Amino acid sequence: MSCIAAVRDYVTRMAKDVSGMKVLVMDAETTGFVSMVYTQTQILQHEVFLIDAIEKARGDKMAHLKAIYFVRPTHENIERLQEEFKDPRYGEYHIFFSNIMRDSMLPKLAEADEHEVVQSVQEFYADFLAINADCVSLGMHSIAHMGSGMMAQPTFDRMQSGVVALLLALKKRPLIRYQGRSEMAMRVAESVLATINEEADLFAFRKTDVPPLLLLLDRRDDPVTPLLNQWTYQAMVHELLGISNNRVDLRDRPGVPKELEQVVLSMEQDPFFATNMYNNYGDLAEEVKAMMDNFQAKTKSSKTISSIADMQKFVEDYPEFKKMSGDVTKHVTLMGEINRLVDKMSLMECSQVEQELACTLDHTSAVSEVEALLQKPSIAIPNKLRLVLLYALRYERNGENRIANFKELLAVSGASPEQVQLVDIILQHYGAQQRAGDLYGDKSTLGLLKKTMKRQMQGVQNVYTQHSPLLAQTLEAVTKGTLSEASHPYLGPELPAAQKKRAPTEIFVFMIGGATYEEARYVGEMNAANPGVKIVLSSTTMHNGDTFMEELSKLSGEAPAGGAGGGGGSTWEMATGIAANIPDRKQVAALTSSVTSSVTKAVGKLQ
């Protein structure tokens, strides 16, 4: 049940079902869907001689080519196809929509096809970005205006259709539960269920003893996770550099060569990344060094060519050798830039206080630590703002909180009025009144006891990774069959009590408001630790701290959406978190420096 494999299979079928020389035409969104799972070289191997965009102006006629159109079923794309059919550029057309078409769309296409060039129209449900095998995103930039009347409808429709496409792609008809008292989660759940019932033939999949579960959650229940700095590879890259459609933009970064200004991080195309994407900062440095040592050993062995057989072997191994050289250079470059930013932004110092704010109830220490960092010129404004946001969320109901004082310190430090206002916005839209779950594990004696025991077992060496997202608690409750029906009700006909007690083994989470790579890591680790359980995390977008604060800024002047408040969540804290083993910054710097130097020399010898 791999999301990447599902999209790859659709693309492969499109390319193979249409024989002969062809052109692949996509829109901006489907181009992203395909690029996540296929390289351009792989596409060309299926006799695709041209890749084009439906939004581009018309070009020359090429009647010798067959056209594959893979586009989203939007009104804009239907109009573009109608215009195209008036004067066809290609010999024949095969239309593949990435989701369910509206009833009115097919008659419009049929009427426009006066030249009878359309050979087939199909629905292939690849309507999402397959990031990891168990993590997908809809690539929605914002849902901040969900309460703004007509502006909200396209946003709502995209969420609903994205969830439906994922279920169809993976061939699942699930039971549905949603985060209680979240109006958005309830509305999306109702719309998905209505579509499943209306399209019963599409969802006529083989039934299992325990039905799959679709669980719709709301980001407002856990605003802490996207505010924390991260210390595992994939999450760190997104936090510090940004990942967009598996691509990392390194332009304008100091010392980055032109050929590495944009690099791809894909678990399908990069074995090193697939193996180390969840590794923490310190372990990652060691793995990069080990990869470099292995590369150097192969470089030395390639020099000892003393026979025709040696030459033949070198030629056979060269493509793999060249790819390894590229992978080494890429990961060393990324590691070096990450290390530079950790040093420049004093992230270890900031992150330690962030983790304490997220995991420890100690107001006196919190005030002292936050105040000290707010007064440090070396701490960047965005990181000072994170600290104040985390403090405000944790202590908003403490009668002695220093939120007002810290807002003043932010302003004195150089934060703009709009940045300072985010403190009030996050409390209005994500504060205790809006949350339903037990975010801090302190709503019950049992929760506090478990949290204390976990902290004692972890010890101080895990100071940077002690936080567990609320999603981890929720999923643990789901897999044990103990998730409260009061906090996460079922949708649809009443189920027998015995069926409700049976824990699902296939779980599809949809996070309205965006997920994080920290949550994706927990899902990946839970899947690896429990072979009999398969969890897929989907969301409107993948947040880092910057994008989450941008979303907050768009909520200025907006009334809070349907409230979540009340209800109790699971008190479980995930006990399988990774060991930190984060070395001293200088140790990482030394490792990275030596690796960078070595790879530069090795690559230089190849040229």
Query: From CA 194, how far away is CA 206, in angstroms rounded?
Result: 20
Task: Return the number of other C-beta atoms located less than 10 Å from residue 381's C-beta.
Answer: 13
Alpha-carbon distance of 432 to 442, in angstroms, equals 12
Q: Specify if 258 maps to a domain.
A: no
Grouping H, G, I as helix, E, B as strand and the rest as coil, residue 276 is helix
Q: Are 167 and 508 in contact (CB under 8 A)?
A: yes
Residues 120 and 132 in one domain: no
Determine how β-strand 534-539 pairs with β-strand 135-137.
Answer: parallel
Task: State pLDDT tens for residues 50-99.
Answer: 999 999 988 889 999 999 999 999 999 999 999 999 999 999 999 999 99
Between residues 243 and 454, the one the model is more confident about:
243
Boundary residue ending a domain (75, 92, 125): 125
How far apart (Å, rounded) are the C-alpha atoms in residues 570 and 100?
36
Domain assignment present for residue 251? The answer is: no
Provide the residue range defining the domain that includes 25: 3-125
User: Between these two residues, 470 and 313, which has the higher pLDDT value?
Assistant: 470
Pick the most confident of 153-167, 283-297, 299-313, 559-573: 153-167
Closest C-alpha to 222, from 426, 388, 407: 426
The share of the chain scoring above pLDDT 90, in percent, equals: 70
Calculate mean pLDDT across residues 397-411: 96
Query: Do 160 and 293 sit in the same domain of this protein?
Result: no
Backbone phi and psi for residue 509, each to the nearest 5 degrees, phi listed first: -100, 135
Structure confidence at residue 580 (pLDDT): 38
Task: Tell me the mean pLDDT in the region 460-464.
Answer: 63
Q: What is the pLDDT of residue 571?
A: 24
Q: How far apart are CA 534 and CA 266, in angstroms?
A: 21
Q: For residue 433, is pLDDT > 70?
A: yes
Spell 337-369 as b/e; 16+ CB within 10 A means b: bbbbebeebbbbbbbbbbbbbbbbbeeeebbeb
Which of 454, 435, 440, 430 has the alpha carbon at shortest distance from 360? 440
**pLDDT at position 323:** 73
Residue 280 DSSP symbol: B
Mean pLDDT of 113-125: 96
The tens digit of pLDDT for each residue in 20-57 reads: 999 999 999 999 999 999 988 899 899 999 999 999 98
CATH of the domain at 16: 3.40.50.2060
CATH of the domain at 483: 3.40.50.1910
pLDDT recorded at residue 562: 57
Last residue of a domain, one of 61, 93, 125: 125
Which residues, 6 or more positions from 494, have their beta carbon under 8 angstroms from its beta carbon? Answer: none
599 versus 356: the higher-pLDDT residue is: 356
pLDDT greater than 80 at residue 114: yes
Number of domains in the chain: 3
The answer to whether residues 20 and 147 belong to one domain is no
Would you list the DSSP string of 449-467? Answer: HHHHHHHHHH-GGGTTS--
pLDDT given at position 313: 53
Same domain, yes or no, for 280 and 408?
A: yes
Q: Where a domain ends, among 97, 125, 153?
A: 125
Q: Is the model's pLDDT at 421 over the cut of 50?
A: yes
The residue assigned the tokens 């965005």 is: 382
Continuous H helices in 506-566: 517-529, 545-553
What pLDDT is stored for residue 418 in this prediction?
96
Helix (H, G, I), strand (E, B) or coil at 145: coil
- Is 438 a member of any domain? no
Looking at every residue in the chain, the average pLDDT score rounds to 86
Are residues 37 and 172 part of one domain? no
Looking at per-residue pLDDT, the higher value among 559 and 149 belongs to 559
In a domain, 267, yes or no: no
Same domain, 229 and 198: no
Give mean pLDDT, residues 537-541.
98
Task: Indicate whether 247 belongs to any domain.
Answer: no
- Whether residue 259 lies inside any domain: the answer is no
Q: How far apart are CA 519 and CA 521, in angstroms?
A: 5
| 229 and 217 assigned to the same domain | no
Q: Across the strands, what pairs with 96?
A: 70, 122
Whether the CB-CB separation of 66 and 94 falls below 8 Å is answered with yes
Alpha-carbon distance of 247 to 264, in angstroms, equals 5
Q: Are residues 332 and 304 in the same domain?
A: yes
253 in any annotated domain: no
Tokens describing residue 566: 């009340």
The whole-number pLDDT of residue 187 equals: 94
For residues 195 and 100, is the Cβ–Cβ distance under 8 A?
yes
Q: Which two tokens stand for residue 512?
A: 């309205």
Q: Which helix (H) or strand (E) holds 53?
A: strand 48-53
Provide the pLDDT confidence category of residue 147 given band limits of 50, 70 and 90. low
User: Which residue, among 398, 392, 354, 396, has the nearest Cα to 373 in the 3D structure?
Assistant: 354
Kindly indicate the confidence band of residue 410, based on its pLDDT and cuts at 50, 70 and 90.
very high
Q: Are residues 76 and 141 in the same domain?
A: no
**pLDDT-based confidence at 384, cuts 50/70/90?**
very high
Nearest Cα residue to 475 out of 443, 508, 445 = 508
Residue 257 to residues 87, 261, 362, 600: CA-CA distances in angstroms? 45, 7, 47, 11
The pair phi, psi for residue 382, each rounded to 5°, is: -60, -35
168 located within any domain: yes
pLDDT in tens, 496-511: 888 888 899 999 999 9
Q: Strands 213-218 and 506-512: what pairing?
A: parallel
Instruction: Say yes or no: 119 and 142 in one domain.
Output: no
- 600 pLDDT exceeds 80? no
Residue 452 has pLDDT above 80, yes or no: no
Contact 238, 477 (CB under 8 A): no
Q: Do 377 and 467 have their domain in common?
A: no
Question: What confidence tens digit (pLDDT) does each residue in 227-275 have?
Answer: 999 999 999 999 999 999 999 999 989 988 888 999 999 999 899 999 9
- Claim to verify: residue 467 and residue 523 sit in the same structural domain: yes
Percent of the chain exceeding pLDDT 70 equals 84
For residue 524, pLDDT over 50 is answered with yes
Q: Per-residue pLDDT for 450 more than 70?
A: no
Question: Of 437, 397, 434, 458, which Cα lies nearest the Cα of 572?
Answer: 437
Note the pLDDT of residue 317. Answer: 53
